[in-house]
Amino acid sequence: MPTLLRVFCWGMLISFLGCLPLGTLNVTAMQIGLQESIKEALLFSLGCLLVEMFYVRLSLIGIEWIQKQVKLMRIMEWLTLAIIIALAAGSFIAASKEGHHQKNEILNNSLHRFLLGMLMSSISPAQIPFWFGWSSVLFQKGVLQPVKRQYNFYIVGIGLGTLLGNAVFIFGGQLIAKNISDSQAYINWFIGGIFTITAIVQTVKMILHKDGVSKLEGKNR
């Protein structure tokens, strides 16, 4: 397999598999797809992947600088946790209201979904240590080399993998909704539950210093 294609495929595969576990961004993309439209959900996903690609590029050329920004990423981590809690509360509030088309209160705004995706992705620091770790592994294995063209193919592969991963949630949510009567209320309860579990898990990881930022902090010592 040609080197550039191999780098592209590794980036796409890691990104795609990394998007499959339930998380804030992919579940939000699914909720936007269900409550607004597939187009808006895809725009949200494009905003997310653009920021992710930027973070990966930054991690490749500024690893030492990133390792020194632990305090900043810690603040971002708390902001992300606050957003997760707000999304959970918004979903529960929407589920408890009468009607079949109640929308998550937090998503009930006029902000362009592409910009919303960029905003939510930009304050999600978990992807920084994630890609820092995987890029380091690929460097060690000789799969990825410090060559500009390889970086470009790697990052494009990551962007496509993220889009495909989010698409699983967006279109999977549509399929599930079609087979559930009064689906909107159930989906709001379900998504609210996912956000609640995510918030609890993230809080426990932060308290026990098992989160991505703590791991990055440990490497910096």
Query: For residue 183, what pLDDT is reported?
Result: 63
Select from 195, 197, 204, 199 the least CA-distant residue to 93. Answer: 195
Low-confidence residues of the chain: pLDDT under 70: 1, 62-69, 98-103, 105, 125, 180-183, 211-221
CB 172 within 8 A of CB 33: no
Q: Give the model confidence (pLDDT) of 113-139 as tens digits.
A: 999 999 989 887 677 778 877 888 888
| Helix (H) or strand (E) segment spanning residue 184 | helix 183-207
- Name the average pLDDT for the chain: 83
Please state the domain extents for the chain. Answer: 3-220
Select from 21, 69, 112, 106 the least CA-distant residue to 217. Answer: 69
